[in-house]
Structure 1
Amino acid sequence: MTINLTADHCKAPNEVTYKILSWLMIGEFVLGLPLNLSVLYIFIFRFKFWKNKSIFLFNIVVADFLLVVCLPAKAYHYQHGLRRSENNVVCKTLLFMLFLNRGASIAFLITLSLDRYFNVVHLGRRNFVKVLKKTPQISIIIWLLLLPLTIPTMLKTFECCNSHGRKFETPQHDVTDTLREVVFFTQIIIPFIILVYCTVRIVGRLRKKTVGEKTKLRRAVWVVMSVIVVFSICFLPCAIARAVLLTVRLAEWQAAENIVVQVYDSLMVLSYTDCLLDPLVYCFCNSGFKDVYISTFCPTFVQKRLLSSDSGSGATTITTTSGARKISLPILEN
């Protein structure tokens, strides 16, 4: 049976819901833009990430910033009762950016977790992740490897409205959408399994260590736990909702689909909060970044409170003298 491919399945099933979601995205943009700009400033001009072995963290910041830039366009479409742009170029460009930035965030977050895993569980062995951190070109390679995952959004047969499960004139549509679904689920499920494994092994290692070694191990636990929080809030819920949506759509339950679509889109909007949560990962990964950020942007009385709370955390400091001033600098972790 021939289906009219010009039929628009991307109208918002409930305009009130999507107007609310649009305001949530505007809020994420208003909070995320200055936050990520300030983090970029710290990494580039104050922290000098290329000297402090924080290249992977910097790449997460770049991915978050590019995500924030896309939010006003998505909010505009939701405000006008559309789940996506009616302009195919704009639609595919936004999907390309969202696929690429989501993949980059996940890839570099998992790389950080693996680095902590090898440093703790396989201490003394050659840590290939630490070797990668010393090579800036590796980050470029990771971005380039992520590009093929965005191919489904660029193909001519791709439907901007995530139309897997609908009937079309040619089988190419179904192949393209199936490929996109495989990419969507594997880039969330497989990294989450790796993350849980790393967390379990690190916690197990922590229980076996003596008191003198536990400070570093606790920091490693906090790193992987912060990444788990980001995954649990931003990525897993939308993956589960996506699976439910595909099930309902394949069963052709149109009334239920209208509801599930709203839930799925709401959880996708929630997933954009990773640009607000990732700074927690930066602070746990490197206490030096946290100290520099606080000393740059926080008022003096807040600096004293926050920095004094870190004095008992086991961080090692070096005291240097500059004229009549004494400056305490934290030793940055590798």
Structure 2
Amino acid sequence: MNGNNNFTLCPISDSYKRILLPLTYSLVFVLGLTLNGALLWVVCFRTRTWSCSVIYLTNLAVADLLYVLSLPLLIVSYAMDDVWPFGDIICKAVRFFFCANLHCSMMFLMCISVHRFLGVCYPITALRFRTKNLAVLTSVSVWVLVTLEISPTLVFSHTGLINNMTVCYEMTNPGQLYTYFPYDMFLDVVGFLVPFMIILICYCSMMRVLYRAGRDNSQVGTENLNKSIRTILAVCLMFVLCFVPYHIARIVYLFVRVYVSSNCRVINLVMIGYKIWKPLVSFNSCANPLLYFLVTYQKAMAVFSHEGNILTCRYVQQKGSPFKLTEGL
């Protein structure tokens, strides 16, 4: 392999992609467009007060929509056996939107986690940090940071020729993989590992506080406590299922492509694993609004007391408003 645009890769059995990826991406497109569109409609027309959580959630939905709207192009390409008929600029844009959605999702989920952590574990001290102005500033900073982080993908991603067919490289052409690998490791650490650890620490700390509050105060209902803990576990489970397998499979795949590039059998095995897990990370675009709709639809209020502080987690369904996004998110 070399850095030229016209080369032949070792034979890879990827015929499954013509069925698996178009089907899964079509499902993600329909569900993601519907759910995120509905979420933005609720936020814009049915939510009177924009809390910090609503601001973060709106940005998360926008990031999801940008990615979902690029899926029809990928669906067509995979259905045509990876042939890319849309040109180099669109190729770069599609890969950019995928990375933007992936990293924006991680960052905004981290922002929501930190916001909840401060409200539950430090309700008084955190008041000056839980302001809408700070949430807006943080959201703008996330978009700027993510754009800077993933801007090199506009250089690495491009079209090329494989067996006389125009393709859109998912990461970069094989001749640049050795250069791309360190950059991808940087993205995995900054855009995945760090937010992942912060989210886990925040939710584990919240579970500990809620458990102690329920144990130390007889007025706390066991049912409400269990609902709050189940919600936290659901968020963590969604995060782990959507992001962890994909990043592990991607790292292994890139490592094999760079350092075991002559072994086509190994490349085939890791590529199959990577391509199977890749659609799963796309489902986070559907899971984010679905999870929050399910949570906010419940007409429940849990009040927790710990060392004299009343901690509230509110999920309220109000009259005339099917879904009300509250500060308790």
**1:247 and 2:255 equivalent?**
yes
- Residue 327 (structure 2) pairs with residue 333 (structure 1): yes
Residue deviations 1:211-241, cap 9 Å, x none?
Answer: 4457886665455433322221211111111
Shift of 1:204: 1.7
- C-alpha separation in 2, matches of 1:319 and 1:82: 49
Q: What SS class does the counterpart of residue 54 from structure 1 fall into?
A: helix
SS in 2 for 1:155: helix
Q: Following TM superposition, by how much is the alpha carbon of 1:54 offset from its aligned partner in structure 2, in angstroms?
A: 1.3
Structure 1 unaligned regions, length at least 5: 291-306, 321-325
Q: Deviations over 1:43-66 (max 9, x none)?
A: 111124636751111111111111
Does 2:234 correspond to 1:226? yes
Q: Per-residue CA shift, 1:251-293, capped at 9, x if unaligned?
A: 22212212321321221111111121112442477x3xx3xxx
Alignment partner for residue 277 of structure 1, among 274, 287, 300?
287
- In the aligned structure 1, how far is the partner of 2:46 from the partner of 2:14? 46
CA distance in 1 between counterparts of 2:157 and 2:70 reads 23
Alignment deviations for residues 180-221 of structure 1 (CA, whole Å, 9 cap, x no partner): 342145312221111221222222222321244578866654
Partners of 1:11 and 1:81 within 8 A in 2: no
Q: Which moved more, 1:197-206 or 1:151-160?
A: 151-160
Q: Per-residue CA shift, 1:278-329, capped at 9, x if unaligned?
A: 12442477x3xx3xxxxxxxxxxxxxxxx6xx36867697999xxxxx9999
Q: How far apart, in 2, do the equivalents of 1:318 and 1:68 lie?
A: 29
Deviates more, 1:61-70 or 1:310-319: 310-319
| 1:155 correspondence with 2:149 | no
Q: In 2, are the aligned partners of 1:248 and 1:256 still within 8 Å (CA)?
A: yes
Moved more, 190-199 or 119-128: 119-128
Q: CA deviation at 1:96?
A: 0.8
1:81: which partner in 2? 81
Change (3 A) 1:8 1:154: farther
Change (3 A) 1:128 1:84: farther
The answer to whether residue 63 in structure 2 is matched with residue 55 in structure 1 is no
Point out the more displaced range, 8-17 or 275-284.
8-17
Q: What amino acid sits opposite 1:204 in the alignment? A: R
Deviation at 1:2, TM superposition (A): 5.6
Per mean C-alpha deviation after superposition, the further-off stretch among 128-137 and 141-150 is: 128-137
Compare 223-232 and 259-268 and name the one that shifted more.
223-232
State the distance in 1 between where 2:22 and 2:7 align. Answer: 24
Counterpart CA distance in 1 for 2:11 and 2:25 is 18
Equivalent position amino acid for 2:140 in 1: I
Structure 2 CA distance for partners of 1:88 and 1:262, relative to 1, 3 Å: farther
Q: 1:261, 1:186 → 2: CA distance? A: 24
Map of 2:141 onto structure 1: 141
Over 3 Å counting, the alpha-carbon distance change for 1:135 and 1:245 in structure 2 is: closer
Which residue identity does 2:205 align to in structure 1? Answer: R
Q: Could you tell which deviates more after superposition, 89-98 or 9-18? A: 9-18
Equivalent in 267, 270, 292 of residue 277 of structure 2: 267
SS of the equivalent of 2:131 reads helix
Q: Tell me if the contact between 1:85 and 1:91 (Cα under 8 Å) persists in the aligned partners.
A: no
Counterpart CA distance in 1 for 2:7 and 2:323 is 62
Structure 2: segments with no counterpart, 5+ residues: 160-168, 304-313
Report 1 or 2 for greater relative contact order, CA contacts < 8 Å, sequence distance ≥ 6: 2
CA shift in 2, pair 1:174/1:49, >3 Å: farther
Relative to structure 2, which stretch is displaced further, 52-61 or 206-215?
206-215
Per-residue CA deviation, residues 165-191 of structure 1 (Å, 9 max, x unaligned), is x556xxxx6434421342145312221
Question: Does the alignment pair 1:26 with 2:30?
Answer: no
Question: Partner residue of 2:166?
Answer: none
Aligned 8 A contact 1:149 1:183 in 2: yes
How many pairs are equivalent? Answer: 303
The two structures have a TM-score, normalised by structure 1, of 0.76
**Structure 1, residues 100-133: CA drift from partner, whole Å, max 9, x if none?**
1211111111111111111222232235651356
Q: Which residue does the alignment assign to 1:40?
A: 40
Identity %: 22
